[in-house]
A and B are shown apart, each in its own frame.
Chain A
Amino acid sequence: MIYREAGQFKTSYPADRAIFPIVQDRYFVAAIALAAFVAVPLLASEYWLVTIMLPFLVLSLAAIGLNILTGYAGLLSLGTGGFMACGAFAAYKLSTAFPELHIIGVFALSGVITAGVGVVFGIPSLRIKGFYLAVATLASQFFLVWLFNKLPWFTNYSPSGVISAPPRALFGDVFVTGSSATPEAKYLFALTAVCVLALLAKNMVRGNIGRKWMAIRDMDIAAEIIGIPMLRTKLLAFAISSFYIGVAGAMWAFIYTSSVEALAFGIERSFQVLFIIIIGGLGSILGSFLGAAFIVLLPILLSNAPQLIGLQIPVDMVTHLEFMIFGALIILFLIVEPHGLARLWSIAKEKLRLWPFPH
């Protein structure tokens, strides 16, 4: 009833392939955008902005990147952490070597560099797939983190191996990195970047290249016979996916944490992003956001839940319980809805077309 497309006729093909073809969807998205761009910076506390919204945005971006590779092109990767590290260290080297380079240029170039690294590690994908490819990308994960840890050149010979983001302004004195940047400025900058990149990703996956990727994912032999060039299309998936993950890594180091070491991009990070896309929904841009929200918010909810219901539990006990409940929830979730939150969302939309009437 409230979510009915009755009377909304599409008279052109562009209208039919719009991202949000239904009017209710467009209102909903406008409301979300308004809340994200206006209400959140005005109302949210610094704690919310820095410890919840920023990691949510950065992880969403990384998840979009991995979703392009794994969810759309069907190439399983466990190298996300390594590619994030690549983006972070590329951004650090670029911004310290060329101080006059604009921060947007720094992020874009570090994405491009990561794309190049991703293409190199993606070459084996022509020959191997599935678990074997996952193991090959696992090698890139360990190699890249080891490289940034061992070669002091990457950290500008910092004895601790930690890189700190230099202060950079978007324009004038609106700093988005470094100690003088306000949480609101960081948040709005990250939000804008993530929204723009997500829109570009959505355009790709609903276009010709997205169909090529899904064709390779669903039936690679038929895709080859149709004439889709295997190597080029797979490497393009690696390049674009790595670009997104590289920018996410740079934003992690520069905007979210401000100072970071290579070990922060360990195998746990790869698994975290993989969980995000599995929980959110493989092959869905929306799912990348939903999954990231789930992964970021659930631990916070779990650690605050005992106080909310008036239980006094020791802190270490809470931490242990958090791990157990979190793991159990993920398993339960995958059994109940293997296609992720994005699928739940589309089921809900389907139900809302009729609700509250039975037919």
Chain B
Amino acid sequence: MAERRFGEVILAVQDISLSFGGVKALTSVSFEIREHEIRAIIGPNGAGKSSMLNVINGFYHPQEGSITYKGVTRSRMHPHHAASHGIARTFQNIALFRGMSTLDNIMTGRVHKMKANVLMQALYWPARREEVENREFVEHIIDFLEIQAIRKTPVGRLPYGMQKRVELGRALAAEPDLLLLDEPMAGMNLEEKEDMCRFVLDVTEEFGTTIALIEHDMGVVMDISDRVVVLDYGEKLADGVPAEVREDQAVVDAYLGVAHD
């Protein structure tokens, strides 16, 4: 793989602490994500990985710390603001709109690009051009993800692997600058995982999208990510390129356990 050039820091979290009542989900976690990189967040179950993603896109509000996104520092994000400023995500448990077709699901990802008001849409013709332009973009994504055949199928009827792919498509439709993937390969067989890895790598190469992903398959993480941050019990254990992290004693201890004498 050709060496990609990483740009400026697109997102930095500083000293983020998040707790739910007495449960501390994250304790003073800091790391940064650079443009065009694939940044993996790993850690054992309950380490606070999904909470971290939820903090980044504003679904959870941390009690302490700040988030710097595209040079603007805030104490917390709002989902609406995050979405309209180029953060898109997929979910651990697929959160597609089950009653809608693949096409409509991906079209919904483009709500921010569509400006026609309700009256214009009701009259059809004033909103037609916008609808067609966005449809063209969505068809590119459908081609990119190789899901042409299921364009009109309600997503509730699709197999699991396809649903994951449609969800990636919905996130890509927003033309995000930062894409958050919460376990994109969970529950997949080897072939599906290889497909998904290919899509993730192609996304950064073709669109230059920055990706933060949570994944449990260490083979996948070590292969495709540029840098890895390791969380355990809500604290940051290690941060660095995959080879470093793999050798880190604290990380090995967290995953394999420590012998108690």
Contact = CB atoms under 8 A, between A and B. Distances in A.
Given A17-B131, A227-B112, A228-B111, A200 B123 contact: yes
Given A14-B128, A226-B109, A203 B122 contact: yes
Interface string B39-75: 0000000000000000001010000000000000000
Interface stretch (B7-15, B77-85, B218-226, B251-259): B77-85
A225 interface: yes
Nearest to B130: A208
A211 interface: yes
B195 interface: no
A201 B57 CA distance: 34
B136 A219 contact: no
B99 interface: yes
B95 interface: yes
A40 interface: no
Given A211-B108, A218-B99, A240-B118, A224 B79 contact: yes
Which label, helix, strand, loop or mixed, suits the secondary structure of the B interface? Answer: helix
A13 B3 CA distance: 39
A215 B108 contact: yes
B201 interface: no
A211 B136 contact: no
Contacts of B99: 214, 217-218, 283
Which label, helix, strand, loop or mixed, suits the secondary structure of the A interface? Answer: helix
B83 A226 contact: yes
Interface residues of A, number: 30
A221 interface: yes
A225 B127 contact: no
B188 interface: no
A225 B100 contact: no
Given A215-B97, A217-B99, A221-B59, 15 more contacts: A13-B136, A17-B131, A207-B116, A207-B121, A207-B127, A208-B111, A208-B114, A208-B127, A218-B97, A219-B95, A226-B83, A226-B88, A226-B109, A226-B111, A227-B83
Interface of B: 57, 59, 79-80, 82-84, 88-89, 91, 95-100, 104, 107-109, 111-112, 114, 116, 118, 121-124, 127-128, 131-132, 135-136, 170, 174
15 contacts: A13-B132, A14-B128, A203-B124, A204-B122, A207-B116, A207-B121, A208-B114, A218-B97, A218-B100, A222-B97, A225-B83, A226-B83, A226-B88, A226-B111, A227-B79
